[in-house]
Amino acid sequence: MNENWSILSVSDIHFASPDSNFLDDPKELDLAGVRDKVFPNFKRILRAFPKDLDLIAIAGDITTHGKQEGFDQFRSETMPALRELVKNKAAICLVPGNHDVKWGLDPTTTNSLNQKFEAFGSLAGSVHTCCVLPDGQLSRDVSDELKFLPRDKGPIYLDPERKLLARHD
């Protein structure tokens, strides 16, 4: 048995570029031409990976500013390419980034945390993969710990044959 793992980690895809009047990254203005080719190039890059990866971790910022069209594009264009790279489709783990949430919510309102992650949670549920989602109420108390939704079967992902375990705590 091969004792090595093959893990692909991807972050900051940022589908659905922001409106030009609402940029949080001024580099965007300088790279407009490059930006147009990012997603076709990303798909070409994915085709270069072997089709037997043990785990793919998408570490946040799938979309930009919580835009639904970014999640839709990821679901329709990227997930099929990612699924071809893993032996088990549950081995694609999604973790939300600061752009994968609804912006502009008052954190002190009831259910604001669930509203904040609603679109990301919908994406994760629709692509049937493992995911980390926070739960509970936001607070202004910095000593409060962020809680995560309980997993029915333990860790985020477990491959007993390869002895690979992905956890969120």
Strands 134-135 and 147-148: antiparallel
**Segment 109-124, tens digit of pLDDT:** 887 878 888 898 888 8
**Segment 125-158, tens digit of pLDDT:** 777 666 767 766 666 666 666 666 555 545 566 6
Contact 85, 46 (CB under 8 A): yes
> What pLDDT, on a 0 to 100 scale, did the predictor assign at position 107?
75
> What pLDDT, on a 0 to 100 scale, did the predictor assign at position 82?
92
Listed as ranges, residues in the chain with pLDDT below 50 are 20-22, 153, 169
Domain boundaries defined on the chain: 7-166
Q: Which long-range contacts (CB under 8 A, 24 or more apart) does 109-117 make?
A: 110/137, 112/137, 112/138, 113/137, 113/138
- Amino acid at the residue 113: L
> What pLDDT, on a 0 to 100 scale, did the predictor assign at position 117?
85
Token pair, residue 160, equals 């007993």
Buried-state track 52-69, b at ≥16 Cβ within 10 A, e below 16: ebbbbbbbbbbbbbbbee
What's the pTM value of the predicted model, to 2 decimals? Answer: 0.74
Dihedral sign of CA atoms 151, 157, 168, 64 in order: negative
Contact 156, 164 (CB under 8 A): no
> What pLDDT, on a 0 to 100 scale, did the predictor assign at position 73?
86
